[in-house]
């Protein structure tokens, strides 16, 4: 690969669309961003080709660890990609998930191995630059060391705050699954236009869930 292409795949994979993000609410990761795992698989397919031909993931090891009365499941995978007909060396990723213990009562989390595998794939993909914008500090410049940081663009004038009626119209439209005239989900358009804080986004998602629960068709 030519030197100028070293960041080709990083740049293609670094950004995550709003519809693939979900704000984590509650627990130790409260306020952080969860990424839809299907989006990762789609990006691998989009950039490298169908699974088995352009990329592949193999589980190479799984084990459990016990500590403080809890058991966690761990999985190690190897991701390989094919570029110009040549397969890469394995890109390792290790992930884990709670199998049983506090938080699961006396039962077993039967999704633990699947969740650990998904986590491991995300770690391997991270080495390719996938979702790098999420893992870097918000707004950080991700250019190469040979580039100077670009000057900040002038700030756009702040939009007028939404009225309660306008806000709940957006909430209800999102709850109904409608899109704007530009084809955007209402949540995405609201975030793009009003730049809400993480707390405001979390409240919005909560309000949408409440609206959907209150407006489910009666059986």
Candidates 150, 105, 117, 122; CA nearest to 16 is 122
Give the DSSP H or E segment for 59: strand 55-67
Say what the pLDDT of residue 156 is: 52
Give the bridge partners for 22, in sequence order.
34
pLDDT at 46: 95
Q: What is the pLDDT of residue 1?
A: 46
pLDDT string in tens for the chain (219-residue length):
444 578 899 999 988 888 888 765 555 554 556 788 899 999 999 999 999 999 999 999 999 988 777 888 999 999 999 999 999 999 999 999 888 876 545 567 888 999 999 999 999 999 999 988 877 644 444 444 334 444 544 555 556 778 888 889 998 888 888 888 777 888 888 888 888 888 888 888 888 888 888 886 655
Copy the structure tokens of residue 181. 């005239």
Give 87-90's long-range contacts (Cβ < 8 A, gap of 24+): 90/58
CA distance 56 to 44: 9
Q: What is the pTM of this model?
A: 0.59
Quote the pLDDT of residue 86. Answer: 96
Residue showing tokens 């191995």: 113
- Dihedral through CA 196, CA 202, CA 207, CA 208, nearest 10? 90
Domains of the chain: 3-135 (3.30.390.80), 164-214 (no CATH)
| pLDDT in the model for residue 115 | 92
Q: What is the pLDDT of residue 3?
A: 42
- Residue 41: Cβ-neighbour burial (10 angstroms; 0-12, 13-18, 19+): middle
């Amino acid at each position: 690969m030519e030197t100028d292409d070293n960041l080709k795949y990083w740049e293609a994979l670094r950004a995550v669309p709003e519809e693939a993000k979900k704000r984590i609410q509650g627990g130790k990761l409260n306020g952080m961003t969860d990424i839809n795992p299907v989006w990762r698989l789609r990006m691998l397919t989009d950039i490298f080709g169908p699974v088995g031909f352009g990329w592949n993931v193999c589980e190479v090891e799984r084990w459990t660890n016990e500590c403080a009365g809890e058991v966690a499941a761990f999985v190690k995978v190897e991701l390989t990609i094919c570029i110009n007909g040549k397969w890469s060396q394995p890109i390792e990723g290790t992930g884990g998930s709670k199998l049983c213990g506090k938080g699961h009562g006396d039962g077993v989390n039967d999704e633990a191995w699947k969740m650990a595998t998904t986590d491991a794939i995300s770690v391997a993909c991270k080495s390719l630059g996938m979702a790098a914008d999420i893992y870097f500090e918000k707004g950080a410049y991700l250019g190469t060391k040979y580039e100077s940081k670009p000057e900040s663009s002038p700030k756009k004038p702040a939009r007028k705050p939404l009225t309660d009626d306008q806000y709940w119209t957006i909430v209800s439209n999102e709850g109904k699954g409608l899109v704007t005239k530009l084809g955007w989900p209402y949540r995405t358009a609201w975030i793009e236009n009003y730049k809400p804080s993480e707390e405001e986004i979390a409240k919005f998602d909560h309000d949408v869930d409440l609206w959907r629960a209150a407006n489910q068709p009666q059986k």
